Amino acid sequence: MALYDQVVDVARVYLGPAAEKFVTRQIRTHLNIESAQLGKQHLDELAHWCNISGALAMNEDKAKEFSNKVKALK
Nearest to 4 by CA among 42, 30, 44: 42
Q: Which of 42, 10, 41, 36 is nearest to 24 (CA)?
A: 36
Cα–Cα distance, 67 to 8 (Å, whole number):
12
pTM of the model: 0.94
Section 8-28 average pLDDT: 97
pLDDT digits (tens, 9 = 90+) for 55-69: 999 999 999 999 999
CA dist 27 and 33 (Å) reads 6
